[in-house]
Amino acid sequence: MRFPFSDEDLLPAVKNSLEKIKPMLALDGGEIKLLGVKNGKVYVQLGGACVGCSAAGNTLKYGVERQLKMDIHPDIEVINIPPGYEDQWEEIASQYEGDKKDNG
């Protein structure tokens, strides 16, 4: 999906939307950090109590991604980068894009 706006255009909107989500995560001891936006995909890192939590995938899909879809664009996608890999998120994003092109 190609978005009608650049990653740089998406960044402020994503930041604003994530600010709405942070209090919900904090109630359960979780946190979220925006790592960046690449090709219309939002790369985040769940932290705090979210690390290792069995509900983290649901939180990402039905909490974070849902809010971004409502606020920004229905085709936006959120990808969690595990702790320890935050400095490599752009490389991971490039690999993710390569896999999608090869398989899709």
Domain containing residue 82: CATH number:
3.30.300.130
* 2 part of a folded domain: no
Return d(Cα 96, Cα 18) in angstroms, integer: 22
pLDDT of residue 40: 87
pLDDT digits (tens, 9 = 90+) for 27-41: 999 999 999 999 889
Which residues constitute the domain of residue 75? 7-103
User: For the residues 90-98, what does the mean pLDDT come to?
Assistant: 83
Q: Which helix (H) or strand (E) holds 37?
A: strand 30-38
* 85 part of a folded domain: yes
* 50 part of a folded domain: yes
Indicate the number of domains in the chain.
1
* 1 part of a folded domain: no
pLDDT digits (tens, 9 = 90+) for 39-66: 889 999 999 999 999 999 999 999 999 9
pLDDT(102) > 60: no
pLDDT of residue 4: 73
* 57 part of a folded domain: yes
pLDDT of residue 3: 67
The pTM for the full model equals 0.88
